[in-house]
Structure 1
Amino acid sequence: MPTTSVQLYSLRDAIADDLDAAIARVREIGYENVEPYAFVERATDLERAFAATGLKAPSGHVAVIDAGDTAPIWDAAERLGIHTVIDPFIPTDRWQTADDVKAIAERVNVLTAEATARGLQFGYHNHQWEFTNKVDGRTVYDLFVEQLSPETVLEVDTFWATVGGADAAAVLRGLGDRVVAIHVKDGKVDGDIRTALPSSESALIVPEALQRAFENQTPAGQGDVDVAGILAAAPQAIRVVEFDAYKGDVFEGITESLTWLQANDTAGTAA
């Protein structure tokens, strides 16, 4: 089975209550890898929890593109064994024009060079607006990718790419090996959520249609997303299970996703 992880943001409420207990439960469920979020601020706590459980963090999320001082980010990544640092979010209002895309790509390329100099990788994680927003008929995601340095990597959130109108499996095949991780996420994909965008301040401040996309997320294999086709299209990528929100017990949700992946994800090479 390919390398499988879980985005700890899915468990943010449990982590806020008791980080050590939440991460220990992740290991008990059967995960060997996690993807931390905002890991710079909680590096000491995460280091302790990883040492206690044996969990590894091959990738991690943190806001890098808008950071004034990036040295603490690279330092924390090295401390926690995070090889791939991913910026999770640049809001939709900054993805409107060709100049917008160029500015983000140039910044990402600078950060990629910084990461490479530290022996790390740097990349970006999409939502749906990078596929919904278009310039001259092309998605801003396409324009963005073609301006990135060869060393820049990508983490494709396959649910949000699908919501944005993309054929996520085709996107992955087109990007090839530069996709180092995918977010494995399933749920209901209604037509009206494609163009329902969050506020520019937060991906979590959303209109009603988009809120449904959060609340109706399901374990892998139980929704409208072609998860099996997506996995086959990116055999090299780390599978990162994630829920933006979940109506039930989120620990049960990540357990069901892991069980489904163990039964259905035969692509790639075990790691």
Structure 2
Amino acid sequence: MKINRRTFVKSAGALSAATLVPLAGFSKAKKPKYKMGLQLFTIRDAMAKDPVSTLKQVKSLGYQDTEIFGYDGVKSTYYGMKAADFKKLLDDLQLTATSGHYDFSSYFNQPMDKLLSYLDQCIKGAKAIDAKYITWPWLAPDYRTPDNFKILADKLNQMGERAQSAGLGFAYHNHDFEFVAHNGTTGYDIILGETDPTLVKLQMDMYWVVRSSNSTPAELIAANPGRYVMWHIKDMDKVTQDYSELGNGSIDYIKMLSTIDTDALEYYYLEQGGNFATNSMQSITDSAEYFKKYLRKYL
């Protein structure tokens, strides 16, 4: 069939338009909004032995972001490395460390100036690695009373103000004990009600919310807009309710992440505190594979 120039140009233009539209849509749909993060506590054994080769493997698995633990404020070290050296390692691997868990619980019963002095050390360390948040991760069992949760809320407000003044965000991370009722109220109720939402953000551990709270993650986010800036994503063993690799447990993350409001979310971290099927490094490998295949498209 003979095709004149006008017909050819028109047909070619239509073909180009037809191909460009789905390609653009495909590219947009496939590009994640957030970096895939890992809480390094998951692989604390490997980080203690060889943090350099461990982080190289973390990078090779597709993780782009991390959350640290175990900062030594006196020595200003992460995993035995000076903060500046740890930052260089992250940069060389094109990794980031956007948040950190610090040992604030050890200072709970000490004078406030001692706690703030330690916080100042943590601020220095966080800024050295260009972290965005400092996170209070845990409260020792001896302090888990309603009165102490009120004291905690006041401390969190002061710490949040201090961190904010230094250009950092400050957040509180939940476990299960915050959801235990004490005469009709819970520690989490006190934290939510008595902390300033502009100073104290929240890091939601989705596993513990599903296991221990009367509310779902979606309900907590809806009831407290603007507060949940970080999430911990980990699965729950179908029998023991212990931690599990993503995809092996009972939490339907496909349903959760496909419908939940990301609201104020800035960062998320995959985590597994223990109960590894083989070992910690194999667990972060399996969880990364499952997350990239089934869940990353939602974030």
Q: How far does residue 68 in structure 1 lie from its aligned partner after superposition?
A: 5.3
Distance 2:71 2:247 in 1: 29
Match of residue 185 from structure 2 = 138
Aligned residues: 243
Matched residue type, 2:270: V
Report the counterpart of residue 148 of structure 2 in structure 1: 100
CA apart distance, 1:57: 1.0
In 1, the alpha carbon distance for the partners of 2:175 and 2:184 equals: 19
Q: Alignment identity in percent?
A: 23
Change (3 A) 1:229 1:39: farther
Q: Distance in 1 between matches of 2:130 and 2:103?
A: 18
Distance 2:261 2:148 in 1: 29
Q: More displaced, 230-239 or 58-67? A: 230-239
Q: Report the residue type matching 1:110 in the other structure.
A: Q
> Which structure has more helix as a fraction of its residues?
2
Comparing both chains, which one has the higher relative contact order based on Cα–Cα distances under 8 Å and sequence gaps of 6 or more? Answer: 1
Give matches, 1:19-58, under 5 Å: 19-40=51-72, 41-42=77-78, 43-58=83-98
How big is the shift at 1:243?
Answer: 0.9
Q: CA RMSD in A?
A: 2.0
Would you say the 8 A contact 2:253–2:295 is kept in 1? Answer: no
On the 8 A contact 1:3/1:238 being kept in 2, the answer is yes
TM-score norm. by structure 2 comes to 0.75
Three-state SS of the structure 1 residue aligned to 2:204 is strand
Q: Is the 8 A contact 1:172 1:234 kept in 2?
A: yes
Q: Which moved more, 1:18-27 or 1:243-252?
A: 243-252
Runs of 4+ in 1 over 4 A off after TM superposition: none
Structure 1: segments with no counterpart, 5+ residues: 191-211
The answer (yes or no) to whether the contact 1:169–1:229 under 8 Å persists in 2 is no
Distance 1:257 1:175 in 2: 29
Aligned to 1:75: 124
SS for the counterpart of 1:9 is helix
CA separation in 2, counterparts of 1:248 and 1:169? 32
| Cα 1:265–1:27 shift into 2, 3 Å | closer
The one-letter amino acid of 2:272's match is F
Contact kept? 2:35, 2:267, Cα under 8 Å:
yes
Contact 1:157 1:182 survives alignment (8 Å): yes
AA aligned opposite 1:267: Y
1:183 alignment partner, SS class: strand
Q: How does the TM-score come out when normalised to structure 1?
A: 0.82
